[in-house]
Every structure is written in C-alpha cells, then in structure tokens.
C-alpha cells in the first residue's frame, strides 16, 4: 500500500506551550488503516506508518504499527520534509486533577474524567497514574473503588489511566513535611492496609508514597514488595539510617524531592542531603521552575545523574486551566497568573498547575540543554520505575508523541498517538 499524506485537524492541540510558541498542523506520512469511532483527540486509526526524526539519535526513522503495536522500526529512505520528531509519550506518575477536574471529588463523572484525560493527552501525556491524597481510610478506599469502576467503563481511560498512586495517608504529620495533607487522618501503615489496596486494584499498577519513619512502615514496605506494589518515600523527615532500611526493604522511589518539607531546613542535616546520599532511589522532581529552584534542580542532576531522576507535574485541577480558585479535596486553592498553586493567604504550595509538555521545556531551560536530552526523564524513566517498557521498538505499544517545530525552533504542534490512534 502506498503511504498517504495525512493532515490532522486542529482540534486536540494543546492550549498553551512555552512563551513565544505558535501552532500549525503537522503533516506526515501514514497509511489509512482500520478506523473506529473518533474521540475528542481527533483522527483515529490503529495501523499505519510515520516518518520523523528519532528524538534520541536525530536520525530519520519510519515506524510502522498494526493493531496498536509497533511492528517495524527502520531507517527512513529520506528525512521528513517538515521538522517532525518522534518520541515516547510522556508518563506522569502523579496527577491529582487536571483541566478544572479534581480527581478527589466523590461526585466525579465519567465525562469529566475523560475530558481531563484528553487534555493531558493534548499536553503530551499518554499515560498517567491517577493520584489520591490523604483522607480517612474508608473514604479513600471507597474513592479508589469508585474511580476504578469509572475507568472500567471506557477503553480510552483503561489505557490512559495506567494505574494508581496513593500519596497518603501514611505520611509524616510534622509541620512542613505534611505539606497540604491533613495530619488528623494520617495512619501508620500495616500489612493489612497493603493487602486491602492490592485487593481493591487487583492487578493494576499501584504506587504508594509513605514516610518510612512511621511505626510499622518497614514491615509494610516488605509486604508491598511481596504484593507487587511499588513504594516511594516522601513527605518524610526520616533519618539516613531509616532511609537506608527502607531501600533495603524494597522502596525504589522518592516523591517530589524538594517539596513535602519545610521551607527552612538545617543546613548541615536535612532530608535533601540524606536523600542525595541514599543509593537505590529514583527521585521525582516537579519541573516547573517553582517547586524546585533552577539552581537546586541542576545540583540534584549533578549529584544523582540523569538516570536516577524522573519528572512529574504533581498537577491538581488548575493545571491546563486559567487562573482562579480550584478544589483539591476539601481545600480551596488559589492559582495566580504565575501558575503557582497556593493555600489562599499563605505562601505555601499545594500541587502544581504545570502541563506535562511545559515541564519538558522548563527542565531543558533550567539545565541549559536540548528538550531531547531531558525527554527520557518524563517518559522512559518513570516507565522503568514501574517496570513498563517505554521506547519506540517493535513489539511495544504504538504510543508516542509527534512534535513539529517552526523556523524559530519553537514547538508548533504536538500530537499523541495512543495504541495506534490519533
């Protein structure tokens, strides 16, 4: 079959990228395959091929896919006529809400969840962990059950919501370390809690953030590993020795380093230095230039190296939405034109309004490097933390980003193919 040139419609393009960027529709080669019902993301097909430059090597490649999976990856006979790049889709491990939708809302509708998910996709994120924050245990588990039931009603959501992240209630209640979480409903983790979570989500991927200094935490980490649950440390003031014991027990990640801690820290001994000295942890950073200062952002990369770092938005409902007041469970939060999410009347941060694709370009600006260099930390590294394959190789899902740049080297358009569907 001869390749056919396809021009994608404008709908589904991201509403905002970094300052100075415009938009135009990408043009690339694709075979018309089997089509199904279109969704809000636009044109649909689950087989085809595409030519673009590989984000990692810069070389022109052709990807072919069938029934939602990549079947061939080969050098392209010629470079694309437009400045088109192919990269794995972004993977966000911490999304509390998006586009005006609060995932903590017990009355959240299927349509609202789908709309938020499509806006995440328009911002480059093909898969994410829906994140729930600290609440009374019965309410938290009931919310998780309900969200899982909503997801089961939509094949689109079953793919996009790749799993679940519980940030709480097993966190430090200390001021500063607890962040915006309610300390009155926090708990010590037990193996029974871990087993209940595994029963609720069944075989779904599950990430749990906890403070390892809480009573029973090390035993709970052991049980989580046995149950196939990933443990990330966070909102913690654990000593270096307790961090070491938590890693030995099976913890593999650290949630948004530089946040979930007091604004003022002991310069000689604090949670930042302890984590930077710990081995065996993949550390998350919110790449918005706000939650982690550019200088600290660079220092963390120099100390840990790029392969031990992943990026996240820690987005709440204000992300991808205009300034205003938004909900995060029982909290009403204020978002200004600077995109900083604060508890009204205080300087305290509470989640972010960052869009995933903006995180890529802000990280690159802070590190003074190309977007191509930082891309794996928002795609391959978070995928690897959960044990998922993520690169564009035969056998992998045909889930990837198509980026096009203009003559000023500004992002002009962004599309995400999910399981062979645009």
Name 322's Cβ contacts closer than 8 Å, sequence gap at least 6.
Answer: none
**332 & 365 share domain:** yes
60/1: higher pLDDT: 60
Q: Is the pLDDT of residue 42 over 70?
A: no
- The pLDDT of residue 22 is 32
Assign residue 118 the CATH number of its domain: 3.20.20.140
Q: What does each C-alpha distance from 207 to 54, 155, 224, 265, 304 come to in angstroms? A: 31, 22, 10, 28, 22
**142 & 249 share domain:** yes
Supply the range of the domain harboring residue 44: 4-88+390-417
Nearest to 353 by CA among 337, 340, 334, 336: 340
- The pLDDT of residue 392 is 94
**pLDDT-derived band of residue 37, with 50, 70 and 90 as boundaries?**
very low
**40 & 173 share domain:** no
Asked if the structure places residue 290 within a domain, the reply is yes
- The pLDDT of residue 45 is 57
- The pLDDT of residue 348 is 66
**124 & 107 share domain:** yes
- The pLDDT of residue 334 is 77
pLDDT tens figures, 227-270: 999 999 999 999 999 999 999 999 999 999 998 888 888 899 99
Residue percentage of the chain with pLDDT more than 90: 72
**148 & 232 share domain:** yes
**117 & 54 share domain:** no
| β-pair partners for 74 | 62
Asked if the structure places residue 370 within a domain, the reply is yes
- The pLDDT of residue 264 is 85
**pLDDT-derived band of residue 25, with 50, 70 and 90 as boundaries?**
very low
Asked if the structure places residue 383 within a domain, the reply is no
Name 193's Cβ contacts closer than 8 Å, sequence gap at least 6.
Answer: 137, 170, 187, 220
Per DSSP, 258 falls in state T
Asked if the structure places residue 422 within a domain, the reply is no
Asked if the structure places residue 106 within a domain, the reply is yes
Per DSSP, 76 falls in state -
**148 & 82 share domain:** no
**136 & 200 share domain:** yes
Asked if the structure places residue 280 within a domain, the reply is yes
SS3 content of the chain, % helix, strand, coil (to 5): 25, 25, 45
Q: Which string of DSSP letters, residue by residue, matches 85-103?
A: EEEEPEEEEEESEETTEET
Mean pLDDT of the chain: 87
**243 & 125 share domain:** yes
Tokens 């550019």 correspond to 294
Q: How many CB atoms lie within 10 A of CB 332?
A: 10
**284 & 314 share domain:** yes
**13 & 32 share domain:** yes
**237-241, long-range: CB < 8 A, 24+ apart:** 237/172, 237/174, 237/177, 237/211, 237/213, 237/261, 237/271, 238/211, 238/212, 238/213, 238/271, 238/274, 239/213, 239/274, 240/274, 240/277, 240/278
In the chain, count H helices and then E strands. 11, 21
Based on the structure, what is the number of domains in the chain? 2
Asked if the structure places residue 131 within a domain, the reply is yes
CB burial class (10 A; 0-12, 13-18, 19+) of residue 309? buried
pLDDT tens figures, 215-231: 999 999 999 999 999 99
Cis peptide before 169 (omega within 30 of 0): yes
pLDDT tens figures, 172-222: 999 888 888 999 999 999 999 999 999 999 999 999 999 999 999 999 999
Q: What does each C-alpha distance from 190 to 195, 221, 223 come to in angstroms? A: 9, 9, 9
Q: Which string of DSSP letters, residue by residue, matches 134-170?
A: ---HHHHHHHHHHHHHHHHT-HHHHHHEEEEEEE-SS
Sign of CA dihedral 41, 43, 45, 49: negative
- The pLDDT of residue 350 is 67
Asked if the structure places residue 385 within a domain, the reply is no
Token couple for 102 = 């609060």
**341 & 360 share domain:** yes
Sign of CA dihedral 93, 96, 100, 103: positive
Mean pLDDT for the stretch of residues 52-77: 95
């Amino acid at each position: 079959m001869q390749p056919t040139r396809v021009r994608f419609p404008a709908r589904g393009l991201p509403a905002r990228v970094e300052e100075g960027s415009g938009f135009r529709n990408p043009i690339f080669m694709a075979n018309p395959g089997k089509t199904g019902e279109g969704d809000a993301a636009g044109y649909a097909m689950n087989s085809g091929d595409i030519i673009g430059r590989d984000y990692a090597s810069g070389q022109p490649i052709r990807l072919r896919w069938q029934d939602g999976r990549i079947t061939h990856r080969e050098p392209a006979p010629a470079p694309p006529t437009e400045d088109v790049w192919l990269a794995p889709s972004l993977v966000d491990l911490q999304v509390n809400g998006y586009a005006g939708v609060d995932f903590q809302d017990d009355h959240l509708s299927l349509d609202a969840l789908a709309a938020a998910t499509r806006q995440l996709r328009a911002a480059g994120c093909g898969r994410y962990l829906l994140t729930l924050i600290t609440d009374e245990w019965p309410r938290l588990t009931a919310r998780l059950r309900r969200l899982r039931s909503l997801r089961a009603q939509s094949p689109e959501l079953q793919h996009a919501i790749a799993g679940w992240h519980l940030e709480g209630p097993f966190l430090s209640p200390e001021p500063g370390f607890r962040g915006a979480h309610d300390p009155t409903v926090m708990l010590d983790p037990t193996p029974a809690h871990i087993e209940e979570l595994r029963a609720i989500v069944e075989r779904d991927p599950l990430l749990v953030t906890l403070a390892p200094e809480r009573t029973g935490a090390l035993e709970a980490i052991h049980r989580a590993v046995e149950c196939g649950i990933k443990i990330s440390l966070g909102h913690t003031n654990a000593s270096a020795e307790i961090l070491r014991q938590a890693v030995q027990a099976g913890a593999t990640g650290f949630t948004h380093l530089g946040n979930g801690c007091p604004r003022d820290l002991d310069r000689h001994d604090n949670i930042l230095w302890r984590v930077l000295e710990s081995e065996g942890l993949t550390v998350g950073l919110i790449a918005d230039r706000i939650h982690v200062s550019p200088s600290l952002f660079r220092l963390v990369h120099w100390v840990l190296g790029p392969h031990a770092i992943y990026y996240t938005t820690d987005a709440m409902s204000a992300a991808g939405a205009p300034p205003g007041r938004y909900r995060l469970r029982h909290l009403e939060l204020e978002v200004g034109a600077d995109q900083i999410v604060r508890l009204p009347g205080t300087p305290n941060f509470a989640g972010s309004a960052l869009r995933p694709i903006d995180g890529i370009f802000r990280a690159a600006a802070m590190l003074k490097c190309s977007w191509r260099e930082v891309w794996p930390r928002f795609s391959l590294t978070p995928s690897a933390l959960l044990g998922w394959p993520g690169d564009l190789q035969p056998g992998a899902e045909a889930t990837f980003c198509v980026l096009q740049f203009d003559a000023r080297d500004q992002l002009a358009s962004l599309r995400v193919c999910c399981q062979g569907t645009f």
